[in-house]
């Protein structure tokens, strides 16, 4: 067994259970939220990763199954983001910024041959990019709509000054939405100093040289910056145009007056 691999043995699941219980207890006792949410998330991770581990080799046997699996990831990411921002009914709206961020970045990686056009390379890369776009869309959407509710007076003041509804919304939510890029920026700034992200470790464990692992991780991090920036910008625009919103909304349906 590779000395860098996680040991699968009788102590693994008790350790996972203990960590989950620790997180749930702290989350609940400090009133940050429901500890049950932590337990449910961990349980879902176990079930989902278990299922993926069983089917992933079959999925990677053809482009058809790989493409279908990526499509499933995309749909789940869109519904998850929509549910966090507004409701699952807005899934098709959340799908727009996620797709607008992922498609050009993944297309450029493949067209330039920086990423090998093989299911084994494309599937995990697509998953990383979709996950990053989902997180950025969720954070930008939630922060923007929270600000619009909290700073409704500033929105009204913008209208009074002659701003169009779209411009008045953008004045309120541009800066808060931009904060959604902070995690990606911090991860990129501190890579190699604070963290060794998954792509680096995975490529290294796969037998590649540290230089190859570093280049792979750099490519992923920069691609994520592009993906998340586009997703955030698209999310803000959808909110400014009233396409993505919460009901009831204190500003009604937003659009050019």
- Give the residue, 193 or 232, on which the prediction is more confident: 232
Q: What is the pLDDT of residue 122?
A: 92
The pLDDT score that the predictor gives to residue 254 is 45
Judge if the upstream peptide bond of residue 245 is cis by omega within 30 degrees of 0: no
Three-state secondary-structure class, residue 253: coil
* Distance from chain centroid for Cα 132: 3
pLDDT recorded at residue 224 = 93
Most confident of 1-15, 132-146, 186-200, 210-224: 132-146
Distances (CA, A) of 198 to 23, 45, 192: 22, 17, 12
Higher pLDDT, 124 or 100: 100
Task: Write the pLDDT tens digit of every residue in 53-95.
Answer: 788 878 888 899 999 999 999 999 999 999 888 876 777 889 9
Find the range with the poorest average confidence among 60-74, 141-155, 182-196: 182-196
> Is 257 or 96 the better-scoring residue by pLDDT?
96
Which residues 6+ apart lie within 8 Å of 203 measured at CB?
212, 213, 216, 217
Rounded Cα distance, 61 and 52, in Å: 14
Task: Dig out the tokens for 206 from the structure.
Answer: 């796969």
What is the torsion angle, in degrees rounded to the nearest 10, for the CA atoms of residue 40, residue 89, residue 256 and residue 134?
Answer: 40
Domains of the chain with bracketed CATH: 8-59 (no CATH), 61-240 (1.20.1640)
How high is the pLDDT of residue 230?
A: 95
């Amino acid at each position: 067994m590779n000395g860098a691999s996680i040991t699968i043995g009788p102590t693994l699941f008790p350790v996972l259970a203990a960590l989950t219980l620790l997180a749930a207890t702290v989350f609940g006792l400090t009133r940050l939220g429901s500890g049950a949410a932590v337990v449910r998330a961990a349980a879902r991770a176990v079930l989902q990763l278990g299922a993926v581990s069983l089917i992933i080799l079959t999925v990677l046997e053809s482009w058809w199954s790989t493409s279908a699996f990526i499509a499933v990831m995309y749909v789940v990411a869109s519904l998850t983001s929509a549910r966090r921002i507004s409701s699952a009914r807005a899934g098709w709206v959340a799908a727009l910024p996620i797709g607008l961020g992922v498609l050009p970045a993944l297309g450029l990686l493949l067209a330039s041959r920086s990423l090998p056009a093989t299911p084994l390379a494309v599937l995990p890369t697509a998953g990383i990019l979709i996950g990053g776009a989902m997180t950025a869309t969720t954070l930008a959407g939630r922060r923007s709509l929270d600000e619009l509710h909290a700073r409704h007076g500033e929105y009204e003041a913008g209208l009074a000054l002659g701003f169009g509804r779209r411009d008045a919304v953008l004045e309120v939510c541009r800066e808060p939405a931009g904060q959604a890029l902070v995690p990606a920026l911090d991860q990129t700034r501190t890579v190699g100093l604070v963290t060794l992200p998954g792509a680096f470790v995975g490529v290294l464990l796969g037998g590649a040289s540290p230089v190859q692992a570093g280049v792979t991780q750099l490519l992923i991090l920069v691609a994520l910056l592009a993906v998340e920036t586009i997703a955030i910008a698209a999310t803000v625009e959808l909110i400014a145009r009233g396409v993505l919103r919460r009901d009831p909304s204190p500003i009604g349906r937003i659009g050019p007056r």
